[in-house]
Amino acid sequence: MTSDRQTSEMILSARDICLSRDGNRLLDSVSLDIRRGSITFLLGYNGAGKTLLLSCLHGLLELESGSVDAPPRDRQKMVFQKPIIMRRTAAGHLRFVCPGVAETELADWMKRAGIQDRTSAPARALSGGEQQKLALIGALATKPDILFLDEPTAHLDFAATKFVEDMIREAHAAGTTIVMTTHNRSQAERLGQDVLFLDGGRLVEAAPAATFFKAPGHALTRQYLEHL
């Protein structure tokens, strides 16, 4: 039985999540807990179900069965590998996704992201790195309780990757819980506190990051790490 103290330490709990499409089981009885204030990495091969699981945890997909206990949707944010960008100017996009946030604060976020000179440019005309920065600051400016990130630095250059990682550290220091996917082992080791490993839609291993990378407990995990 889970104690009240243990329950209070968890910001999200999922039990027996199942998801199928066209008769194929994509997520198979996945149960997990996310510690409040942690940085948790969701790792696995392409096709393991990582993005689907993030979407289920965020409430974007209807579950075939199972349950997710998480903060209200208005206290969550998700940034996709290919960010969703509005047909507006960069500043207009930020205003739309951050209702109620002061203009001066939004301008400061644009400056921190190094895109203050792009405020009047169409958001969809920004470079890939600029769009990812815009999506990330749009999520962080609302100060969510939990932030889901789906490979947020994929295909980004060093400078953009550093910005994203710096913002993750800052948000974490401010109390936001981070759940993210990556194929970058060094990134997961730099930032991660907990790791969840998916294989074929099943949760194979859940462990503190130090244990996961130094002494994985499952043969599939060891095999994965040899190629990561």
pLDDT confidence of residue 145:
97
- pLDDT per residue as tens digits for the range 167-205: 999 999 999 999 999 999 999 999 999 999 999 999 999
Question: Residue 2: is its pLDDT beyond 50?
Answer: no
* CB contact at 8 A, 205 and 212: yes
* CB contact at 8 A, 107 and 114: no
pLDDT confidence of residue 155:
86
Long-range contacts of 22-28 (CB under 8 A, 24+ apart): 25/201, 26/52, 26/201, 27/52, 27/53, 27/56, 27/201, 28/200, 28/201, 28/202
* CB contact at 8 A, 166 and 197: no
**Which residue has tokens 């958001």?**
123
- Residue range 63-78: mean pLDDT, rounded: 95
CB atoms within 10 A of CB 160: 21
Grade residue 8 by pLDDT with cuts at 50, 70 and 90.
low
Question: Residue 52: is its pLDDT beyond 90?
Answer: yes
- The CA R_g of the chain, rounded to the nearest whole Å, is 18
Grade residue 44 by pLDDT with cuts at 50, 70 and 90.
very high
Bigger pLDDT: 174 vs 2: 174
- Residue range 114-137: mean pLDDT, rounded: 94
CA–CA dist 90, 74 (Å, integer): 22
Grade residue 121 by pLDDT with cuts at 50, 70 and 90.
very high
- pLDDT per residue as tens digits for the range 139-177: 999 999 999 999 999 989 999 999 999 999 999 999 999
CA–CA dist 123, 134 (Å, integer): 8
Residue 88, token pair as written in the block: 């507006």
Question: Residue 11: is its pLDDT beyond 60?
Answer: yes
Q: What percent of the chain has pLDDT over 70?
A: 96
CA–CA dist 28, 20 (Å, integer): 9
pLDDT confidence of residue 1:
34
- Residue range 7-34: mean pLDDT, rounded: 92
CA–CA dist 182, 197 (Å, integer): 11
First to last CA, the chain: 36
For residue 202, which phi and psi values (nearest 5 degrees)? -115, 145
* CB contact at 8 A, 201 and 48: yes
CA–CA dist 108, 216 (Å, integer): 42
Q: Which of 50, 58, 25, 27 is nearest to 147 (CA)?
A: 58
Q: Which of 187, 182, 206 is nearest to 195 (CA)?
A: 206
CATH number corresponding to 4-86+144-227: 3.40.50.300
For all residues of the chain together, what is the average pLDDT?
A: 93
Grade residue 228 by pLDDT with cuts at 50, 70 and 90.
confident
